[in-house]
């Protein structure tokens, strides 16, 4: 049914975690958020040191990424955009693999079937039909498995978004579509993207459920994703989740948002950033101790130290790789170079 729940779902303002989450789950969610936060912060430093290339920052998007993927099982597929480049880490992918991707090294091109994590999509929205197709294929083959795709607010203006979500809806494919609405597509604001009151409203046009969540509330995102994944698994077809927040960091390391962004909104958003907010909730519940915080940070820092060392220890890729798959018969100036 195409019901859209427009009220922003929130959990962290209260004092109870969603049913079904144990203390171990809560600490694991926290561990994953720290891992992604550390990955992101270290990557900006590595970029400044010239050790990785241009990097799409996901600072304060961790609640969406961790919350949405937590209800998934290993057989379920994740389709990331560049904004979720390190999402494989929640499945145990080594940090060096993702760092190598940002270094343009072929060892960063993982085999999607090894992790059930599709290749990072840089073209906006082109992976939405891929997720729909994989989910539909699972259904046709009678196999278990859900496909979850992440994309931004800007992606909802792309034809491939409409084609993918509509196809999944018509075929009753077990897909979950997570729109990371950070309200900016580089320097294009959401108002220039749509006349719809909310992006979740678009679900009505496809005849599927739509839900809006506070994108800085990991448990609200988790809860909406859990419902969507359960519905998909039970044959109920896809769901569109809109996770709402306000981008609090540059689009990428090559961007200077001071030219266009509302700096006051950024400061407000930074003050309620998602890791600290979850940390305060867990402390209020008496679940998180200083030892957990310390251990999660140490583990993440170590994973990044080892990751960059392993990435830099690999021999550089051959420059010919740039052209190997571009030409059957290379033009003479490349053949002779
Ligand atoms: C098909 C396509 N058109 C244009 C671009 C250039 N581009 C890169 S990022 C971006 C903004 C996308 O914004 P959004 O979908 O909101 O995702 P966000 O970056 O905010 O996570 C654009 C237009 C692209 N990568 N692919
Ligand atoms: Mg955006």
Catalytic member of 31, 47, 226, 247: 247
Atom of ligand 1 nearest to the CA of 158: 1
Cβ neighbours, 10 Å, residue 256: 10
Question: Active site includes 260?
Answer: yes
Q: How far is CA 4 from CA 84, 210, 225, in A?
A: 25, 4, 15
Binding site membership of 103 for ligand 1 (Cβ less than 6 Å): no
Minimal-distance CA residue to ligand 1 atom 7 = 124
| Residues near 254 by beta carbon (within 8 Å), at least 6 away in sequence | 54
257 secondary structure, DSSP code: G
- Print burial letters for 195-216: b (CB count within 10 Å at least 16), e (below 16): eeebbbbbbeebebbbbbbbbb
Distance 186 CA to ligand 1 centre (A): 7
Cβ neighbours, 10 Å, residue 182: 25
Binding site membership of 182 for ligand 1 (Cβ less than 6 Å): yes
Strands 188-189 and 239-244: unpaired
Q: What is the tens place of the pLDDT at every residue in 239-292?
A: 999 999 999 999 999 999 999 999 999 999 999 999 999 999 999 999 999 999
The ligand with the least distance to the CA atom of 245 is 2
CA distance 174 to 167: 11
Catalytic member of 245, 251, 277, 292: 251
Q: Is 240 helix (H, G, I), strand (E, B) or coil?
A: strand
| Residues near 136 by beta carbon (within 8 Å), at least 6 away in sequence | 167, 168, 171, 173
The mean per-residue pLDDT over the stretch 104-129 comes to 97
Give the percent of the chain with pLDDT over 90: 91
CA distance 52 to 87: 18
Predicted pLDDT of residue 222:
98
Predicted pLDDT of residue 175:
99
Predicted pLDDT of residue 1:
57
Residues in the chain: 337
H or E element that contains 244: strand 239-244
Predicted pLDDT of residue 337:
66
Residues paired with residue 177 on neighbouring β-strands, in sequence order: 149, 240
Q: What is the tens place of the pLDDT at every residue in 54-69?
A: 999 999 999 999 999 9
Rg for the chain, CA atoms, rounded? 20
Catalytic member of 260, 265, 305, 327: 260
Predicted pLDDT of residue 288:
97
Predicted pLDDT of residue 34:
98
Minimal-distance CA residue to ligand 1 atom 20 = 185
The mean per-residue pLDDT over the stretch 158-168 comes to 98
The mean per-residue pLDDT over the stretch 105-118 comes to 97
Mean predicted lDDT score pLDDT of the chain: 96
What pTM did the predictor assign? 0.96
């Amino acid at each position: 049914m195409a019901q859209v729940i427009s009220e922003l779902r929130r959990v962290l303002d209260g004092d109870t975690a969603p049913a079904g989450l144990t203390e171990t789950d809560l600490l694991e969610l926290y561990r994953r958020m720290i891992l992604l936060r550390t990955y992101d912060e270290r990557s900006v430093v590595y970029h400044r040191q010239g050790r990785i290339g241009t990097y799409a920052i996901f600072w304060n998007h961790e609640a969406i990424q961790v919350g949405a993927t937590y209800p998934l099982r290993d057989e379920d597929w994740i389709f990331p955009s560049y904004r979720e480049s390190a999402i494989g880490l929640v499945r145990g992918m080594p940090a060096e693999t993702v760092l190598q991707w940002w270094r343009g090294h072929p060892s960063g091109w993982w085999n999607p079937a090894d992790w059930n994590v599709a290749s990072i999509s840089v073209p906006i929205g082109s992976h939405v039909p891929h997720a729909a197709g994989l989910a539909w294929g699972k259904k046709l083959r009678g196999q278990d498995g859900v496909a979850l795709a992440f994309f931004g607010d800007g992606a909802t203006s792309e034809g491939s978004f409409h084609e993918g979500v509509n196809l999944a809806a018509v075929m009753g494919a077990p897909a979950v579509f997570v729109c990371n609405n950070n309200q900016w597509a580089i320097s294009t604001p959401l108002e220039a993207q749509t006349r719809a009151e909310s992006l979740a409203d678009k679900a009505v046009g496809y005849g599927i459920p739509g839900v809006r969540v506070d994108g800085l509330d990991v448990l609200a995102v988790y809860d909406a994703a859990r419902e969507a994944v359960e519905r998909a698994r039970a044959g109920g077809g896809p769901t569109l989740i809109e996770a709402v927040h306000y981008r609090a960091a540059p689009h990428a390391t090559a961007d200077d948002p001071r030219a266009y962004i509302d700096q006051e909104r950024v400061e407000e958003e930074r003050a309620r950033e998602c890791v600290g907010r979850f940390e305060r909730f867990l402390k209020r519940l008496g679940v998180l101790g200083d030892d957990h915080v310390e251990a999660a940070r140490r583990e993440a820092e170590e994973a990044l130290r080892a990751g960059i060392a392993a990435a830099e220890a690999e021999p550089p890729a051959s420059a010919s790789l740039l052209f190997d798959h571009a030409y059957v018969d290379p033009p003479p100036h490349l053949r002779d170079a």
